[in-house]
Amino acid sequence: MTAPAARPPRYELHCHLDGSVRPATIADLARRQGLTLTAPVEHLTVAPPDCGSLTRYLTYIDLPLQVLQHPDALTRAARELVEDWHRDGVVHGEVRFAPQLHTRHGMTTDDAVRAVATGLAQGRAATAVRTALLLCCLRHQNPDESLAVAETALRHRDLVAGLDLAGDERLHPGSPHRPAFDLAHSADLPCTVHAGEAAGPDSMWEAIDVLGARRIGHGVRCTTDPALLHRLRQDRIALEMCPTSNVQTAAVPTLTDHPATRLLTAGLPVTISTDTRTTSDTTLEHEFTRLRHSAGWTDDMEVQAQRNAADAAFHTQS
């Protein structure tokens, strides 16, 4: 009898902190902060399989954001995420968050960055998982706010590994946020951009040519543009694909139809991540198991996806 293949070291490149807080931690933080929950915490934080849109999916992050308004809460969430990565076989994990969303009770963006970085450091010390921290600009916010986020990233260049632009690209173009990304590039801070999730190939061209993205968050709507596929392959612009989340937000209809399978086979730098471990109730183990069952993924395909992720990883804190 042939022994099962050893699981390759795993790399998580696309993981949002506010969507990856353990439900039990959210409940505990709510209790400590005097918040009354209107339903069981899982009902408030775990999205259904058929959200139908990114807009509805994001509502399940409202409660985690509410309880992550204090430095100790951010530190705890970050530390526990590293512990969860370790259990999931992750050797390198990148977490992203929007520090400007954590200032409701007096924290500054600098405070928020330091709090998350402290939690990551605690997690690294306990598990030896390498980590990287990315800051998110948000499409729906004023570009001046994005510039302030980029400035925050540069003030903490020793802690921050990259800059991201998140949000619904169907409703909010990325071009107005170019000053933030120009500032990042001037300091050699690598950038990734959410694109090709809610909107089509044009959003990905904008991410690459206007914002200078080295990686694309999701990018599932690239398949109809041969020139874009050529550019992605030629420049090795990694695709941070999150299969379960992509189905929940209706970016793709089913896991069987997910473009990660044919794009990986065609030589594009596809990577697999969870997006939001709690909101999507998933792990990397679950993502690859579902791809095996629904899309015929093999051991070799997972190995290639992990190699792609290792090649595309941003600077780590070790």
- Does the pLDDT value for residue 115 go beyond 60? yes
Specify the pLDDT at position 318. 57
Mean pLDDT of 299-310: 97
What tokens does 202 get? Answer: 């044009």
Pick the CATH number of 10-312 from 1.10.3720.10, 2.60.120.10, 3.40.50.720, 3.20.20.140: 3.20.20.140
Specify the pLDDT at position 3. 40
Mean pLDDT of 197-215: 96
- Catalytic: 42? no
What tokens does 280 get? Answer: 């999507």
Specify the pLDDT at position 315. 81
User: Can you give the residue ranges of every domain in the chain?
Assistant: 10-312
Q: H or E stretch including 230?
A: helix 226-235
Specify the pLDDT at position 6. 67
Tell me which residue of 48, 34, 44, 90 sits closest to 274, measured CA to CA: 90
- Does the pLDDT value for residue 103 go beyond 90? yes
Specify the pLDDT at position 233. 97
Give the C-alpha distances (Å, rounded to integers) separating 89 from 85, 180, 303. Answer: 6, 34, 13
What crossing angle do the helices spanning 178-186 and 143-155 adopt, rounded to 10°? 20
Specify the pLDDT at position 18. 98
Given the residues 80, 169, 197, 206, the one annotated as active site: 197
- Does the pLDDT value for residue 5 go beyond 90? no
Token pair 């918040």 is at which residue? 35
pLDDT tens readout for residues 149-179: 999 999 999 999 999 999 999 999 999 999 9
Specify the pLDDT at position 7. 75
φ and ψ at residue 226, rounded to 5 degrees: -60, -35
pLDDT tens readout for residues 207-250: 999 999 999 999 999 999 999 999 999 999 999 999 999 999 99
Question: How high is the mean pLDDT of the chain?
Answer: 95
Confidence of residue 254 (pLDDT cuts 50, 70, 90): very high
Say how many C-beta atoms besides its own lie within 10 A of residue 198's C-beta.
Answer: 22
Helix %, strand %, coil % of the chain (to 5): 50, 15, 35
Specify the pLDDT at position 271. 98
Whether 94 and 314 have beta carbons less than 8 Å apart is answered as yes
- Does the pLDDT value for residue 251 go beyond 60? yes
- Does the pLDDT value for residue 4 go beyond 90? no
Alpha helices, H only, 88-216: 109-127, 143-155, 178-186, 201-205
- Does the pLDDT value for residue 1 go beyond 60? no
Return the ∠ at Cα 198 (arms to 250 and 162), rounded to 5°: 120
What crossing angle do the helices spanning 23-32 and 71-87 adopt, rounded to 10°? 160
- Does the pLDDT value for residue 2 go beyond 80? no
pLDDT tens readout for residues 176-194: 999 999 999 999 999 999 9
Mean pLDDT of 16-23: 98
Supply the DSSP symbol for 106: S
How far apart CA 180 and CA 2 sit, in angstroms, is: 53
Give the count of alpha carbons within 13 A of 16, CB side only.
28
Mean pLDDT of 251-260: 95
Specify the pLDDT at position 225. 97
